[in-house]
Amino acid sequence: MMKLLIDADACPVTDIALDCARQHNVEECILLCDTSHMIERENARTIVVSKGADSADFALVNLVKAGDVVVTQDYGLAAMCLAKKANVLNQNGLIFTEFNIGSLLEQRHFAKKVRMAGGRTKGPSKRTKEQDEAFLKSLWRILEDR
């Protein structure tokens, strides 16, 4: 049985993902968050973990199986889920693959080095309707192909 797992801390597409999963008869939807983000939805099970660096991420990795679908904007978590043969996408519809995850992790590392040296990196821009549509299109395609 395929599950939809959402790294729900600060996830802007939780409701879109759950609605799409319902339309595709996904049997289990799980939201993972820490105690500073108490997120509950009627059609999903919420797992709340204690605050701590990456605690929700590690809980998600422990639950994910091959063929599951994961929504996250965390490249490190995406890489771990890909290693377990899950389908992984971010909130903008980018589908993570073994071909793009390496360069994304390198970009993350470079940005961290810039910040640690006192530099600034550009933050995310205001969310658009087009980003929501791109996410829905990618998730729809993944669920149709299962």
Per-residue pLDDT tens digits for 80-100: 999 999 999 999 999 999 999
| pLDDT at residue number 109 | 56
Look at 111 and 4; give whichever has higher pLDDT.
4
Q: Say whether 74 sits in a helix, a strand or coil.
A: coil
- What's the rounded Cα separation, in Å, for the pair 14 and 8? 7
pLDDT of residue 139: 99
Q: What is the pLDDT of residues 10-42, one digit of tens each?
A: 899 999 999 999 999 999 999 999 888 889 999
Take residue 79 and report the two structure tokens written for it: 């890489």
Average pLDDT, the chain: 91
- Starting at the edge strand that comes first in sequence, how are the strands of the sheet with 87-89 ordered? 45-49, 28-34, 3-7, 69-71, 87-89, 95-96
All structural domains of the chain: 3-97+128-144 (3.40.50)
What is the reported pTM?
0.88
